């Protein structure tokens, strides 16, 4: 079956070959992204949180919450770095040069 498909693909016109490559690539990307999300979701576990009403059990925690909090943390860190760079550039400093 596989050999027959490959032989037909080799004899097909260029347009058909490109379609097969495009569909195969798209399916492979979807599978890889799904596996990556699944793996990421399995290794990211929330710390124990005390939510109102659940008695100290772990609250609802999803992949999108992780992405949202991570993005907010990265943006906050970037702003802190920009502020530090601005202070370094615009604050006056005195240097003592000794021979």
Report if residue 22 sits inside a domain: yes
Total domain count, the chain: 2
Q: What is the pLDDT along the chain (99 residues), one digit of tens a residue?
A: 667 888 998 999 999 999 999 999 999 999 999 888 878 777 766 554 444 444 444 556 677 888 888 888 888 888 988 888 888 777 776 777 787
Report how far residue 79's alpha carbon sits from residue 54's, in angstroms, rounded to the nearest whole number: 36
Contact 18, 28 (CB under 8 A): no
**What is the model's pLDDT at position 45?**
62
Report if residue 51 sits inside a domain: no
Report how far residue 14's alpha carbon sits from residue 16's, in angstroms, rounded to the nearest whole number: 5
Report how far residue 79's alpha carbon sits from residue 22's, in angstroms, rounded to the nearest whole number: 40
Q: Containing domain of residue 18, as a range? A: 1-43
Q: Are residues 3 and 35 in the same domain?
A: yes
Q: Are residues 71 and 37 in the same domain?
A: no
What is the DSSP secondary-structure string of 60-87? ---HHHHHHHHHHHHHHHHHHHHHHHHH
């Amino acid at each position: 079956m596989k050999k027959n498909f490959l032989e037909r693909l080799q004899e097909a016109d260029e347009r058909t070959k490109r379609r097969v490559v495009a569909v195969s690539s798209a399916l492979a990307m979807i599978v890889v992204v799904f596996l990556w999300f699944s793996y990421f979701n399995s290794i990211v576990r929330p710390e124990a949180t005390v939510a109102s009403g659940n008695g100290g059990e772990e609250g609802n925690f999803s992949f999108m919450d992780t992405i949202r909090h991570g993005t907010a943390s990265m943006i906050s860190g970037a702003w802190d770095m920009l502020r530090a760079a601005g202070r370094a550039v615009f604050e006056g400093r005195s240097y003592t040069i000794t021979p």
